Chains A and B, each alone.
Chain A
Amino acid sequence: MTARSAHRRPALHLTRFQLWLLALTTVIVAGLIAGVIVFTRGLVVTNLTDLVPWGLWITIDLSSIAMSAGAFLLCAAVYLLGLKQFQPVARTATFVGLLGYSMAVLCLLLDIGRPERFWHALVFWNPHSVLWEVTMCVTLYLAVLALETAPILGQAEWMQRRRPRLARLLSSVHHYAPYLAVVGLGLSLLHQSSLGATYGVLKARPIWYRPDLSVLFIVSAMAGGPALTALASMLAARLSKRVHIDDHLLERLSHAIGWVLVGYLYFRFWDAFAMTYTYAPGRTEGLNLLTQGPLSFNFWIGEMLLGAVVPIVILLKSNWRRNPPLRMIALALIVVGVVAYRWDTNLAGQMVVMSYLPQDITARFTTYTPSLIELISGAGIVAFGLLAFTLGVRYLNVVDHRAIEHAEEQALEPALEPTQ
């Protein structure tokens, strides 16, 4: 700090932006330390057991992937349905998607017992495994997202100034956006649903073993993903003067999200209701955990009331939806609801321990609470996502509903010239 500014302000005055960066960096450093402990001491530092082998990290992984669904949806809307006015939102969603998938990969690296073998599924194929399919799709889609975000980097002003040729190459990927949108749509539909099927195919876990999980996973992601993108855009615009959003555009998107949520609630109702038809060993116990047991607060308050009913009312009632603060609350609640859904689904199947004794059909229960190391490293991953988004807003202009069209034209111009 220079001497001139020092006598005007207290010596260690940080701007709000710097404070935010400092807080995130602190959490990331703590998360890194926790991560090093996980890698050196092994997964014994978690509260995971052979009865509950998937916990907090898997929930963050599933949630990050769900929150990235805005990317494929909005790209499909813009480039396949021709809703061109949503192009700037698709740009933000793609960036959010890239961060979401990076977070998911980080979670998995922490979670698997042999992180140095992360590449095994690409080389040793088991096409019968849903998880193999998910791994392949996620890897390929990560590549698609990287290509889709390339123009964002190419259009950054500092990039065009310092590396003009590279910037032009990166920007030119934009011409393939329609192809990438098709590939991204296919891959996303496949693996977003397959993540539900990862649970749904397990006959040993009756609360999971049902066809609807794949449908519920994709539909909830279709609400949660765009919701996070819209929320992040609105938040960025409120916190930074250099961010310009078209509130009408986000309001229309939020309206659509409200209807997706109605569809989700419909599927979810019949899914849960069908499980009450009769007593089924394990399944009934699982439903009990959700509706009356330790997960019931999450289920009724987190998933149903705050995660679905309240945002549906706000987003479908036009004068409430047009109120930006109220709309932001609704969008944030959707995100909370989707995360709660992933957490509850993951745990409901594992907390019910099925008996294999022939005369004993009743299930036992177990519990799981994440350890401090799991919490800190998980928080580090979330902080990484927030920091990357913050920097993206600041230096890559990822939320800008104004200047985009101009930039696209610039990028498009050379390609319109005859080449031969």
Chain B
Amino acid sequence: MKRLSLKRRSFLKTLGAGAAALVGMRMVGQGASSDGEPQAASPHKWAMVIDQAKCQGCGYCTLACRAHNDVAPSISWNRVISAGKVKDREIFLARPCMQCEHAPCVEVCPVGASYHRADGIVMMDYGKCIGCRYCVVACPYGARAFNWEEFTGPNPAVPMWGQPEVERRPRGVVEKCSFCYQRIDRGLEQGLKPGVDPEATPACVVACPVGARFFGDLNDPESTVSKLLADHPYYRLREDLGTSPRVYYLPTREEASS
């Protein structure tokens, strides 16, 4: 009669085969994920500058963002909050995703659904996200929102504030501001300059009626953002955390409140 007991050798073989299978799975994963952006270095380093001296807190940026990115009314990729008063004038803080250079969300994501593009934009792979919400917990800026329910029906911000340019996210994944990467990419293809040409610039920057938001390439010393940061005092949110945000704020100034 054939004995059916496992031999040590075959047991260890099985263990080895299991380990090999795991590595194999990873190969599959890498193959499947290589459809994204090429990881070559990008000539660009996108950044946003928000001038608190100019911001009136109208919230047009949030609405334009909702329309162009087809964001549900219950979610704000860009939030405008009250930030206190200076000489009776209310100050506002507009908060898109900070597109951190050292992004906690990218580090904690168990499946790599949050990742950096070569130009520094923190992207979401909505096809990979499992909806564990670790990134929501990890983000110091509250910039991430989970799709607790499916967003169906018309978007109330459309067409008043623009037309959707990206696919609506399904239920069960986390979403966030992407610096309107679709506008940047399409603009660059057409030979436009993000930050200068409205078609190639994030929707919130274009929509701002008082010109409080600026966008551009920090690698280009002649860009508006490079010049603004060279000439003005600026700060970034929670710099103590070491996240290195790519959104810069110009604090309100004396001359602005007069």
Q: Is the CB of B237 within 8 A of A356?
A: yes
B226 to chain A, nearest CB (A): 23
Task: Say whether B5 contacts A202, CB under 8 Å.
Answer: no
Q: Which of B132-140, B158-166, B213-221 contacts the other chain?
A: B132-140
A42 touches B238 (CB 8 A): no
Contact with B along A339-377 (1 / 0, CB 8 A): 000000000011001101111100000000000000000
When A and B form their complex, what is the total count of cross-chain residue pairs whose Cβ atoms lie within 8 Å?
166
The contact of A129 among B108, B139, B148, by CB within 8 Å, is B108
Beta-carbon contact of A123 and B110 below 8 Å: no
Interface centre among A42, A53, A118 (most CB of B within 10 A): A53
In the A-B complex, the 3 residue pairs with the smallest Cβ-Cβ separation, listed nearest first, are A113-B131, A113-B172, A172-B5
Report which of A42, A117, A121 forms a contact with B148, defined as CB distance below 8 A: A42
Q: Does A54 count as interface, using CB distance less than 8 angstroms?
A: yes
| B32 contact from A41, A123, A135, A172, Cβ within 8 A | A123
The 10 listed contacts between A and B (C-beta, < 8 Å) are: A46-B148, A50-B145, A53-B133, A113-B174, A120-B113, A120-B130, A126-B110, A134-B110, A203-B242, A204-B138
User: Which listed residue, B5, B104, B137, touches A414 by the CB 8 Å rule?
Assistant: B5
* A113 B235 Cβ-Cβ under 8 A: no
Check A415 against B5 for contact (C-beta < 8 Å).
Answer: yes
**Which chain B residues lie closer than 8 Å to A118 at the CB level?**
130
Q: Which of B97-118 contact A (CB under 8 A)?
A: 104, 106-113
Q: Would you list which residues of chain B between 77 and 114 have a CB under 8 Å from chain A?
A: 81, 83-84, 93, 95, 104, 106-113
> Which residues on A sit within 8 Å (CB–CB) of B32?
123-124
Which B residues contact A (CB, under 8 angstroms)? 3-6, 8, 11-12, 18, 22, 25-26, 28-29, 32-33, 81, 83-84, 93, 95, 104, 106-113, 128-134, 136-142, 144-150, 171-174, 235, 237-238, 241-242
B235 neighbours in A (Cβ, 8 Å): 358
Q: How would residues 36 to 70 of chain A score, 1 for a CB under 8 Å from any chain B CB and 0 otherwise? A: 00000111101011110110000000000000000
Residue of B nearest to A176 (CB): B11
Residues in B neighbouring A134, C-beta threshold 8 A:
110
User: With A43-B148, A53-B136 in contact, do A129 and B25 touch (Cβ < 8 Å)?
Assistant: no
- List of A residues within 8 angstroms of B25 by Cβ: 122-123
Contact A53 B93 (CB under 8 A): no
A198 close to B (CB within 8 Å): yes
* A316 at the B interface (CB under 8 A): no
Contact between A132 and B111, CB atoms less than 8 A apart: yes
Q: B238: nearest residue on chain A (CB-CB)?
A: A356
* A204/B140 in contact, CB under 8 A: yes
Asked whether A106 is an interface residue with its Cβ less than 8 Å from the other chain, the reply is: no
In the assembled complex, the CB of A270 is this many whole angstroms from the nearest CB of chain B, namely: 25
Give the chain B neighbours of A4 by CB distance below 8 A. none
Candidates A51, A113, A130; contact of B130 at CB < 8 Å = A113
Quick check: A112 and B237 within 8 Å, CB to CB? no
Q: A173-B6, A175-B5 are in contact. Are A131 and B108 (CB under 8 A)?
A: yes
Residues of B within 8 A of A117 (CB): 111, 128-131
Q: Which residues on B sit within 8 Å (CB–CB) of A205?
A: 137
Check B140 against A356 for contact (C-beta < 8 Å). yes
A113-B130, A114-B130, A168-B5 given; A126·B112 CB < 8 A: yes
- A48-B148, A113-B130, A114-B129 as given contacts; A358 in contact with B104, CB under 8 Å: no
Confirm or deny: A201 has a beta carbon within 8 angstroms of a beta carbon on chain B. yes
Are the CB atoms of A123 and B173 closer together than 8 Å?
Answer: no
**A123-B26, A176-B6, A414-B5 given; A53·B237 CB < 8 A:** no
Residues in A with CB closer than 8 Å to B150 are 42
B99 to chain A, nearest CB (A): 14
Minimal beta-carbon separation of B114 from chain A (angstroms): 9
Closest to A129 in B: B110
Q: Could you say which residues of chain A place their CB within 8 Å of the CB of B137?
A: 53-54, 202, 204-205, 349-350
* Cα-based distance from A173 to B128 in the complex (angstroms): 37
> How far does the Cβ of B131 sit from chain A's closest Cβ, in whole Å?
2
The answer for the CA separation of A108 and B172 in the assembled complex, in Å, is 13
Which residues from chain A contact B109 at a C-beta distance below 8 Å?
A: 126, 129, 131
